[in-house]
A and B are shown apart, each in its own frame.
Chain A
Amino acid sequence: MTTTLIIAHQQLRSLSRSGTFVLMLGVLLVMTALAGFIGWSSHSTIISVYDETVRTLTAAGKPIPPNPFASKPRLTLLNNMIIYIPLIGALLAIVIGNRSITDDRQAGVMRVVFSRPIRRSTYFWGKLAGSTLAIIVIMAACLVLSAVALTLTNGGLLTASEFLRLVLFYALSSLYLQVFVLVGMVATLLIRSPSTGLFAAVAIWVLITFATPQFTSGLRPVASLNPVTDPATVSSSEFFRATSKAKPIAINEQYKTLSTNILSDVSTTGTIIVAAQLAPIIIALLLLGGTASQLIKRHDFSEEDARD
């Protein structure tokens, strides 16, 4: 247990000493602030547009339509985070996974570590614990900033239920990002060249983030970047009715659906449905974790420092 913690600590210190951790924290905090600002700006503009529409229609003696935003939950101001996390968050998680192996390889840390009576599984758990902790700290900071931003923009403290939903959203995001840390680790362990390993991990990210939604829903790559999806842009053809059967195993789609439900205050979702939506993410984590553990066990650490 102590050795695992030492390795986790070394992983965190390595990320922190190179400035990578602070940089990632800064980036995600800026993204969180930006998501809040864009959400607030869009929302206040649209309310003004609605008010102006009401004035114009009243002057013309026309009927007044109901405000489509009247019952919009307050947490939806952060909807852009559902897009930012699978994009920049996942890419940064891949970099963490890649660096966790590459830095040790290039500095010869692995050879030193395994000259000691340390089990390879201990090394794996230490690495996993270190990266998990890094992700949790970053997500916790984003949670605090989100809570502050929502309090300021809504002009009042969050309710206990809203805060709990926010915690759930960031917990889910931590799980999702951990998948990509493991993708980065596995690709780097499988491929000797660190940069090819990094590109391979990015290729898997492309597959998960863009190619799968296009296959299962006909959602074009750019449409995947918009938190508001126009039903007209999602095809309902026979082809997509067939391919949509693969949706339950698409982790990106499940993450987006779950996150949207959490932030939109959808309380009708049953436990079984939530479990089914969460299952592909958990399964991906277990599979990737098992693969990374096996690769570390079988890896030849007597090799020379990895270079491109």
Chain B
Amino acid sequence: MTRRAPSRILTLAAHEYRSALRSGVLVLLILAMVLVTAGSITIGSYDFKAQITDYATYVAQATAAGITITAPPQFYPLQLLRGVIEYIQIIGAIIGIGLGYLSVARERTGNTLRLILTRPIRARDLFFGRLLGATAVIATILAAAAIISIVLIGIVGGVWLDGAELVRLAIAFVLGIIYMLLFYALGTWVSARSKVVANGLVVALVVWLAVVLIIPQIGDTMDPDNQVPGGLFAALQVQKPDELKVLAHFSTYETIRNTLEETSLTKHFERYSFAVTGIKDKYNGKSLSTITSDKRGDVAWIAAYMALLSVLMWSGLRRERITQQET
């Protein structure tokens, strides 16, 4: 008797998850992510404590000299996630690509896809099965990172997150899962289309470099004000009104630079998750609906990328299916 579609999808998802577990990849990735998360939060906490110590020294000196004292540095515990989110931006994308490559490489070297195709499996079962399996693998990795983040913010940072903060942290990590899945789809698509699967990995890494480094870099590094440490206009001792007058002559350059930056998936992921977690100061204390409304452009871009890469993954899997059947 033919099994029902949801059951087939779950079986394929379980196959994907078990393969990652058995090969040791899942454990390795969990360990790597937990290690960089723990390091990042611990370093952030110590840095903040050092700022508080410096502030106390400054207060003592300012009081003795009779100078007006500035406000102390504010501690927002979720801001300790900055390094973790940046790691998801950079390494999470590589992990996603690697998992996509691995799922294609595994089927090719083990010939398991051919075996799977002898069963009454439809293309959409394969698509959703793999996607669900990859979601479970990525969710496990990020869940481990989220748990270690909560524990370390509590122990090292000295603040236990409340309910609202936990919701914001969860949103940031769910966004991280979506972001990594997009790169998983890319890895699957490119690897499936390559005769030599390792070449697919190389091509996917090049796309990663473009999305994660080059395009955001065009936004940041090619910003004239970012060319000098501390800022060009600060180095030239030019005041804001004069700076605006000068930049008015470079509006086309700025438009091209900003447009390129707008196409970067990484930038949109960064902007929305930084806003939700309050890493971007101006969003601290704002409601989630206000932030989402303010960042609707970033949400729309992420949704557009999700649609595009779903198509890519579907096309990659079809190609892989055809290749296996022809072989």
Contacts and interface: CB of A to CB of B under 8 A. Distances in A.
Contact of B23 (A20, A196, A238): A196
Contacts of B214: 34
A195 B101 CA distance: 9
Contact of A308 (B105, B196, B221, B236): B105
Interface size class of B (residues with CB under 8 A): 35 or more
Interface string A193-221: 10110111011001000110011001011
Given A203-B28, A221-B86, A308-B106, A211 B39 contact: yes
Contacts of B209: 31, 84, 87-88
Contact of B230 (A95, A230, A240): A230
Given A92-B205, A221-B87, A49 B221 contact: no
A20 B232 contact: no
Nearest to A242: B46
B268 interface: no
B232 A46 contact: yes
B24 A228 contact: no
B222 A38 contact: yes
A18 B199 contact: yes
Interface string B191-202: 000011011011
Nearest to B225: A49
Contacts of B31: 203
A229 B229 contact: yes
Interface centre among A92, A191, A220 (most CB of B within 10 A): A220
Interface in A59-118: 60, 62, 65, 68-69, 80, 83-84, 87-88, 91-92, 95, 98-99, 106
Contact of A99 (B198, B232, B242): B198
A308 B23 contact: yes
Given A56-B246, A228-B221, A232-B230, A214 B43 contact: yes
Given A92-B202, A95-B201, A226-B220, A239 B50 contact: yes
Nearest to B40: A214
Q: Which DSSP category, helix, strand, loop or mixed, fits chain B's interface?
A: helix
B217 interface: yes
Contacts of B246: 49, 52-53, 56
B39 A106 contact: no
B206 interface: yes
B151 interface: no
Interface in A19-39: 19-20, 23-24, 27, 31, 34, 38
A307 B236 contact: no
B124 to A, nearest CB: 25
A50 interface: yes
A307 B102 CA distance: 11
B36 to A, nearest CB: 6
A272 interface: no
B198 A53 contact: no
Contacts of B242: 53, 56-57, 60, 62
Contacts of B23: 193, 195-196, 308
B222 A42 contact: yes
Contact of A49 (B98, B237, B250): B250
A220 B50 CA distance: 17
B174 interface: no
Given A53-B246, A218-B43, A222-B89, 11 more contacts: A20-B198, A52-B250, A56-B242, A88-B209, A91-B205, A95-B198, A195-B25, A199-B28, A218-B47, A221-B87, A226-B226
Interface of A: 18-20, 23-24, 27, 31, 34, 38, 41-42, 45-46, 48-50, 52-53, 56-57, 60, 62, 65, 68-69, 80, 83-84, 87-88, 91-92, 95, 98-99, 106, 191, 193, 195-196, 198-200, 202-203, 206, 210-211, 214-215, 218, 220-222, 225-232, 235, 237-240, 307-308
15 contacts: A38-B222, A49-B232, A52-B249, A53-B233, A53-B236, A65-B235, A68-B236, A80-B217, A91-B205, A195-B25, A195-B105, A195-B106, A210-B36, A211-B35, A221-B86
